[in-house]
Structure 1
Amino acid sequence: MADAPLSVLVAGASGFIGTPLVAALRAAGHHVTTLVRREPTSPYEFRWQPGVADLDPAVVDGADVVVNLAGASIARLPWTAARRRAVRSSRLDATRTLVTAMQRAATPPHAFLSGSASGYYGDRPADRLIESADPGAGFLAEVCTAWEAAASEAPSTTRTVLLRTGLVLGPDGGALAPVLPLTRLGLGSRLGTGGQYWPWISLEDEVAAIVHLCSSEVAGPVNLAGPTPALADHVLRRVAQDLHRPYALTVPETVLRLALRDAADELLLASQLLVPAVLQADGYTFRHATVEQAVDALLG
């Protein structure tokens, strides 16, 4: 299957990762269809309403790969009760809708690549996190655990991959979106001690790794993070250096918690030394092996 064009169905195709993923899959010669929440405007689109209506099993019937990247952004703050419900339900509703369609399909997909996140591990400053590590504690860990459990209900004949994505560094979005404008204004700041590990990955590698996994035989959780660990301080300092701006300020943890509450601990202050053990063992070669290379490619 690795050398043949694949039939790939993508949910979340218009998002920050989904948009370049669809382009990369098509550039590689694969046949790509997408799920949309509006009326389709091409024969390559199918409408779906996760959490509202079932998806026609014919949409997934016979597909080689289904990729699920659907879910409300966790970067939208504050995390009100309503926002927490949206983050959780958007992921579970989408995943359950896809899984139900697969279960009803005459020929279930060969593979299901379903989104998850490094938040699965929680704050683990003392641990080297490979895919066999236990889940952590906190809101994101609870969401990711439920999300992965829903994906794991896919048919037993379907190879299911759980994409535990770290902080994606890319243009016009991703982990650096709130940081870039402040740094350009000369307000580049260390967040807390800066000694927390951030599980970074470039958008280019995120997309290329997912394309790689479409043709792989890997199953189970896969850490999508760069191969060289980096502290938050290293990431933010490199951004300031590339923008030729100062990096002299510090935002104390207490101030971050006052402004963002528990989102500060889970999004900015959590330490996760994520190791892409499964991906590297499967032969994937990173385009950006260090966070410096990733930031330079983004801002250079």
Structure 2
Amino acid sequence: MTTEPLSILVAGSSGFIGTPLVRALREAGHHVTTLVRREPRTATEFRWSPGTRPLDPAIVDGADVVVNLAGANIGKLPWTESYKREILASRVDATSTLVEAMRQAPTPPRLFLSGSASGVYGDRPVDVLQDDAAPGAGFLADVTTRWEAAADAAPEGVRVVTLRTGIVIGKGGGALAPLVPLTKAGLGGRLGTGGQFWPWIALEDEVGAIVHLATDPRASEVSGPVNLAGPEAAVAERITKRVAADLHRPYLFRIPEFALRLLLQQAADEMLLSGQRMVPTKLLESGYTFRHQRAEDAVDAAF
């Protein structure tokens, strides 16, 4: 759907999701500026240092949309106590820095799309999780709850959408980053029972959904939490088995829960063994059409 060009500021623009998002927004004709932690290289980059110094309000002043994807990589293991503090602080500090700049700006943005994650629900093996489902328990649930609360402190008049992103499947990163080398080495197999629901989403649809929420008039009334997960639920084994098939490698093993916990400790339960059956109701009702309807299609597209 064609829209007038918008002014969009993106934080976390160099990551697995941010890089293709910025490219897609620019290809659609929007004026995109980005926040970086190094010296700016172009006129569309602005340096920031969340948690240590304020962001110049002029950077957000007059922007139509601010997209916040900043945060330390939860896939970096092991989760030491110091790194867990970094996971939390990187998200809350970045979000609070943006919100404070909005409060100081004469004309704050109309829309703030701020990151969140499926981890907000904790391990919910039975529940069907609509967008507004209550948070669960665990480290990631605590992180995402505080992350969303920081976004919700945006000034009055700023419509806030928190992007409850599932397990992103795409080339070069995301959920496939640890699975591909193991599978190539002939160690592909079920993780735990393999029956836990993984709230998968293809990278193309993760980007497409954010572009839709940021720019499509049909999404102009959407607010609050939005589930970014594929339209068909899938258990973990469907994904891991498809990775093996696409790589033409054997799928022979079952890695038991105790082995995963021994290797990854808390991260095993929070990232691999937990289940969330998320339903993208708000996204579908706002008119978004998924490119990839099944988890297998998302895996195939990544190879």
Q: Which TM-score bucket, shorter chain as reference?
A: over 0.9
Partner of 1:31: 31
CA distance in 1 between counterparts of 2:25 and 2:3 reads 13
Aligned residue in 2 for 1:186: 186
Task: Tell me, yes or no, if structure 1 residue 17 matches structure 2 residue 17.
Answer: yes
Mean Cα deviation higher: 52-61 or 241-250: 241-250
Give the corresponding residue for 2:252.
248
Alignment of 1:153-172 (within 5 A): 153-172=153-172
Aligned partners of 2:87, 2:150: CA distance in 1, in Å?
Answer: 15
238-247 vs 228-237, greater mean Cα deviation:
238-247
Amino acid in the other structure paired with 2:7: S
Question: d(CA) in 1 for partners of 2:290 and 2:131?
Answer: 18
Q: How many angstroms does 1:184 deviate by? A: 1.3
Amino acid at match of 2:224: G
1:50 aligns with 2:50: yes
Secondary structure, counterpart of 2:161 in structure 1 = strand
Q: Aligned partners of 1:119 and 1:182: how far apart in 2?
A: 24
Cα shift readout 1:37-74 (whole Å, capped 9, x = no counterpart):
11111110111110010001000000000000000000
Native 8 Å contact 2:170 2:301 kept in 1: no
Q: Any residues of structure 2 matched to 1:118-197 within 5 Å, and which?
A: 118-197=118-197
Q: Which runs of 5+ in 1 are unaligned?
A: none
2:224 is equivalent to residue 220 of structure 1: yes
1:126 is paired with a residue whose SS is strand
How many pairs does the alignment contain?
A: 299
TM-fit CA distance, 1:213: 0.3
Q: Deviations over 1:106-144 (max 9, x none)?
A: 001010000000000000001000112110000000000
C-alpha deviation, 1:3, in angstroms:
1.5
Instruction: Tell me how far apart the structure 2 counterparts of residues 58 and 285 of structure 1 sit (CA, whole Å).
Output: 35
Query: CA 1:9/1:124 → structure 2, altered by over 3 Å: closer, same or farther?
Result: same
2:261 alignment counterpart: 257
Counterpart of 1:255 in structure 2: which amino acid? A
Superimposed CA distance per residue, residues 190-221 of structure 1 (whole angstroms, 9 cap, x where no aligned partner): 10000000000000000010000002211110
- Deviation string 1:163-212 (CA, Å, 9 cap, x unpaired) is 00000001111011011011112211110000000000000000010000
2:301 pairs with one of 283, 297, 300: 297
What percentage of aligned pairs have identical amino acids? 66
Secondary structure (helix, strand or coil) at the match of 1:113 reads: strand
Question: What is the TM-score with the length of structure 1 in the denominator?
Answer: 0.98
* Structure 2 partner of 1:95: 95
Partner in structure 2 of residue 287 of structure 1: 291
Whole-Å separation in 1 of the counterparts to 2:275 and 2:15: 26
Ranges of 4+ aligned residues in structure 1 off by more than 3 Å: none
Structure 1 SS opposite 2:98: helix
Q: In structure 2, what is the Cα distance between the partners aligned to 1:2 and 1:58?
A: 28
TM superposition score normalised by structure 2: 0.97
Does 1:239 pair with 2:229? Answer: no
Aligned counterparts of 2:51 and 2:137: Cα–Cα separation in 1? 26
Q: Residue 41 of structure 2: SS of its match in structure 1?
A: coil
How far 1:104 sits from its partner (Å)?
A: 0.6
- Distance (Å, rounded) in 1 between the aligned partners of 2:41 and 2:9: 16
Per-residue deviation, 1:2: 6.6
The SS at the match of 1:177 is: helix
Structure 2 unaligned spans of 5+: none
SS at match of 1:145: helix
**Distance of 1:2 and 1:111 partners within structure 2:** 18
Matches within 5 A, 1:38-77: 38-77=38-77
Which whole-Å CA distance do the structure 1 matches of 2:2 and 2:54 have between them?
A: 31
**How far apart in 2 are the matches of 1:176 and 1:38?**
28
For residues 68 and 53 of structure 2, the distance between their equivalents in structure 1, rounded to whole angstroms, comes to: 17
Residue type at the aligned position of 2:33: T
